[in-house]
Amino acid sequence: MEDFISLIRKRRTIRQFQPAEVPLELLYQLADLGRLAPSASNLQPLEFLVVNDDQVKRKVFSCLRWAAYINPAGDPKPGQEPAAYIIILVNTQIRNKGFEYDVGAAAENIILGALSVGVGSCWLISVDREQLQPALRLPDSHRIDSVIALGYPAEQPLVEEFSGSVKYWKDEKGCLHVPKRSLQQVTHWNFYGQKFPPDLKV
């Protein structure tokens, strides 16, 4: 397993996947990483639906919207669809608001855990929940928050320096470029607007 900080720096959203299965045991372990994430008041309202059946995967795929900035170029190409999904559910009988913090923590655990073993991911919140809810036989007490698509990467997105626009793009070779605001732009030291020493390195 690689150094954890390097893993975080390496993480990029993946939307093109190799046609290779992700082992069920690994998917189960990733759901466990989601379970172990911090939970406000330790209420633990989240549940995790693992999907790797081909027919169910097709239903899930049809309910997802991928990369809005470059649609449809960001959609997985035929043969490069996700190998599996982990769908994050909220048990609204436990908590029906304020669960978003739990979801973020659980999703990041799953995403980084997957990457640590070479599995890429795309965290999707643009989901046709009305169509997907009955397709997954979910009870009314459970709502779909988001979907994490998983598979071995078939692309290597690159981080670019922020130059005024957050919109990612694909170049003529199909490589995805993702602008990120610089560390100096988003960090402050002791007081808002006071910057860290310029010779400080990370």
Instruction: Report the CATH number at residue 175.
Output: 2.20.180
Across-strand partners of 160?
A: 179
Measuring CA to CA, which residue among 94, 112, 115 is closest to residue 39? 94
Give the pairing of strands 158-161 and 176-180: parallel
Tell me what percent of the residues of the chain surpass a pLDDT of 90: 82
> What local confidence, expressed as pLDDT, does residue 115 receive?
97
Q: How far is CA 71 from CA 126, 140, 145, in A?
A: 13, 32, 22
Mean pLDDT of 67-90: 93
Structural domain boundaries, residue 190:
157-202
Measuring CA to CA, which residue among 142, 176, 139 is closest to residue 156? 176
Helix (H) or strand (E) holding 89: strand 84-91
pLDDT confidence band for 2 (50 / 70 / 90)? low
Question: Does residue 202 register a pLDDT over 80?
Answer: no
Residue 49 sits in the same domain as residue 24? yes
190 Cβ contact list (under 8 Å, min separation 6): none
Most confident of 4-8, 66-70, 102-106, 169-173: 102-106
Per-residue pLDDT tens over the stretch 159-168: 888 888 999 9
> How many domains does the chain contain in total?
2
Residue 29 sits in the same domain as residue 87? yes
Residue 119 sits in the same domain as residue 76? yes
Residue 123 sits in the same domain as residue 167? no
> What local confidence, expressed as pLDDT, does residue 22 receive?
98
Residue 11 sits in the same domain as residue 47? yes
Residue 35 sits in the same domain as residue 67? yes
Residue 171 sits in the same domain as residue 197? yes
Residue 24 sits in the same domain as residue 122? yes
pLDDT confidence band for 200 (50 / 70 / 90)? confident
Q: What is the C-alpha to C-alpha distance for residues 5 and 20, in angstroms, rounded to an integer? A: 27
The pTM assigned to this predicted structure is 0.93
Mean pLDDT of 49-77: 94
Angle between helices 24-35 and 100-115 (to 10 degrees): 140
Residue 139 sits in the same domain as residue 44? yes
Question: Does residue 148 register a pLDDT over 70?
Answer: yes
